[in-house]
Chain A
Amino acid sequence: MSEHFTPESQPTHPRGLAPESQPTHPRGHVVSWKVYLGIFLALCALTVVTVVVTGYDFGPFNLVVALGVAITKATLVVLYFMHARYSPKLTGVVIASSLAFFVILVFLTLTDYVSRPWPLS
């Protein structure tokens, strides 16, 4: 498919000296609809996987497996449906920092709960 169009006004406007406003990928990148269909089918397949694996007991790794599948699915959505793969680096930075702060919230809160010497109730 030849549906690329790079905005032609790029060199004329009096801005754009800042590094991140010059994306490494051409803007307006159009992905074939077949990619979306493929991702949709992959997501459906992974949904089946996440149900099937609950038939097996991995002991303490049950949660790890469930989250692993969910993270894979979420990554596919972010990269392809949300076009993060074709977006400027800055998009990745925003995603990464929100996840980092979420991890800080959960991890540091859990440091308290896993090291309490007494039961709660």
Chain B
Amino acid sequence: MSTVATYPKDSFLSGGWDLKSWLLTKDHKRIGILYLLSISAMFVLGGLYAGLIRWNLLVPDGSHMSADTYNKAFTAHGVIMVFFFLIPSIPAVLGNFLIPLMIGAKDLAFPKLNLLSWYLYVLGAAITLYALLAGGLDTGWTFYTPYSTVFAQSNVEIAAIGIFVAGFSSILTGLNFIVTIHKMRAPGMTWFRMPLFVWAHYATAIIQVLGTPVIAITILLVALERIFHFGFFDPNRGGDPILFQHLFWFYSHPAVYIMILPSMGVISELITCFSRKRIFGYSFIAMSSLAIAAIGFLVWAHHMFVSGMAVYSAMVFSALTYLVAIPSAIKTFNWAATLYKGSISWATPMIYVFCFLGLFLIGGLTGLFLGNLGTDVHLTDTYFVVAHFHYIMVGGAIMGYLGGIHFWWPKITGRRYSEAWSRLSAVLIFVGFNLTFFPQFMLGYLGMPRRYHVYPEEFQVLNVLSTAGATVLGFGYLFPSFYLVYSLFKGEPAGDNPWGAKGLEWTTTSPPPTENFHQIPVVTEEPYDYAKAPKEKDAV
């Protein structure tokens, strides 16, 4: 007897499990789950490549694999994790599922376009995976010219086309979110009654729509240059390889905010719920999301300080880089103020919130070292950079993603997972993550360059620590796939609102009906009004 039958009759999950009802669905909730499955597969694959990298770096002489294999492994890790996991992660899974629910709409504005986005993602992933698996790609995920255009013998063109296609998946998702948030809000859902998760996704969508096309055309130019010898980035024809870096980072720096902004949106939802307190500085958090989206476009050349760009221009970009720290700090202070005198409970999602706060703080502050023109010259292309962006992307984005998955899992599936196992997993991930990447800050500061498959013997102790941490981290990531799947079959029914949370998504059934709400809700209050909430038994 399948437990599926116990779902409410009109839930989006009770429409049957035949493949066609999923592959042709226009329901944003089902599409969110399609994304969840596909990005999880990519995450596993990207994680395996990370394992290869760490395995090679156990020994200083690189005897575990050839330099060529190592280059292909770190390129595959970067391409898969950046383009096919981190960028779609929270927007395409949680954003897709939750935005219509949170604003009281029946679906996104363009359901067919939403399904098309998923198919573009799958097509892009398939093309790129073909490039990575059949021969490989050795340019690094950054595709720097002239190596990628003139010298690389690997599958640059195919991978470029795959990323081009996946880029349009991201653009169309952003377009859908912008229109949905503008035009599909329920009566009474004014802009300043929207959950901060929605604000964060609005800011993210702006970056997706205005940034992604630039990398699409850039990566296309790289492919055209290899096929037709266009010469845009070829010094022999008067092209400038550094122009590629400008165009690439115009998107790829804001892309970091595509990863972190939705995560910040998740954190804002979770921290207020588990502090049983109205969020502190709602409008500041909302506006700082937009500020990050805008200022994020003004700082890209801090990735290029030693590339040969003009030093005067570099000084301008360095100064602008500090600006982006301001809205990030505004968010962090407001979260801290929300915790103050709150009735904090230690549910699993809240553990991820604390992981996020600590790790994002470290990641953000080390970013200032790299934005500073002087210190960056010393730290460029060392493991310091690697550690920094993993603190942001894993410590920030993935912690938010996992926190969000654990928070909304009961809503998505109607089931509760094991609290004990999920807490253990969260702690393992936190410990494993720090053990992996904190030694890399030290390695980088001591001068170990990134992307080399051999290193001096004195760096071995720290590298072994890092590999040990990666092993713990890997096990930490494995746990959820067991207890979450287990919960689908044996988990207790969650009820409509297991956390006592605020927000329209908690007023409908779990899992929600296909049309989301039995009646179109009318919003009459501000969000996060936890003061009026019935006190939980653990509340002060």
A–B contact, 8 Å CB criterion (strictly below): yes
Complex CA–CA separation, A113 to B304 (angstroms): 13
Question: Taking A101-B210, A115-B310 as contacts, is the C-beta distance between A120 and B240 under 8 angstroms?
Answer: yes
Tell whether, in the assembled complex, residue B297 and residue A112 are in contact, meaning their CB atoms are under 8 Å apart: no
A100 to chain B, nearest CB (A): 9
Complex CA–CA separation, A117 to B314 (angstroms): 13
* Residues on A with beta carbons closer than 8 Å to the beta carbon of B246: 109, 112
Instruction: Find A14's partner among B183, B214, B235, B520 (CB 8 Å cutoff).
Output: B520
Q: Is the contact region of chain B dominated by helix, strand, or loop, or is it mixed? A: helix
B residues 149-201 near A (Cβ < 8 Å) are 182-183, 185-191
- Residue B456 CB within 8 A of the other chain: no
A30 to chain B, nearest CB (A): 23
Complex CA–CA separation, A105 to B249 (angstroms): 10
* Residues on A with beta carbons closer than 8 Å to the beta carbon of B250: 105, 109
Complex CA–CA separation, A113 to B308 (angstroms): 11
Tell whether, in the assembled complex, residue B310 and residue A15 are in contact, meaning their CB atoms are under 8 Å apart: no
* Residues on A with beta carbons closer than 8 Å to the beta carbon of B298: 104, 108
Instruction: Find A18's partner among B190, B247, B301, B311 (CB 8 Å cutoff).
Output: B190
* Residues on A with beta carbons closer than 8 Å to the beta carbon of B243: 109
B342 to chain A, nearest CB (A): 31
A residues 14-30 near B (Cβ < 8 Å) are 14-21
A110 to chain B, nearest CB (A): 9
- Residue A98 CB within 8 A of the other chain: yes
Tell whether, in the assembled complex, residue B206 and residue A121 are in contact, meaning their CB atoms are under 8 Å apart: no
The count of chain A contact residues (Cβ–Cβ below 8 Å) is 25
Complex CA–CA separation, A112 to B300 (angstroms): 12
- Residue A116 CB within 8 A of the other chain: yes
Tell whether, in the assembled complex, residue B297 and residue A17 are in contact, meaning their CB atoms are under 8 Å apart: no
Using CB atoms, name the residue of chain B closest to A20: B182
| Listed residue (A17, A98, A108, A112) with the most chain B CB atoms within 10 angstroms of its CB | A112
Tell whether, in the assembled complex, residue B297 and residue A101 are in contact, meaning their CB atoms are under 8 Å apart: yes
B interface residue numbers (CB < 8 A to A) = 182-183, 185-191, 206, 210-211, 214, 235, 238, 240, 242-243, 246-247, 250, 297-298, 300-301, 309-313, 316-317, 520, 522
Closest 10 CB pairs of A and B: A115-B310, A115-B312, A112-B313, A116-B310, A111-B313, A101-B210, A112-B309, A109-B246, A112-B310, A14-B187
12 sampled A-B residue pairs with Cβ under 8 A: A14-B520, A18-B185, A21-B183, A90-B182, A101-B211, A108-B298, A109-B246, A111-B312, A113-B310, A115-B310, A115-B313, A120-B235
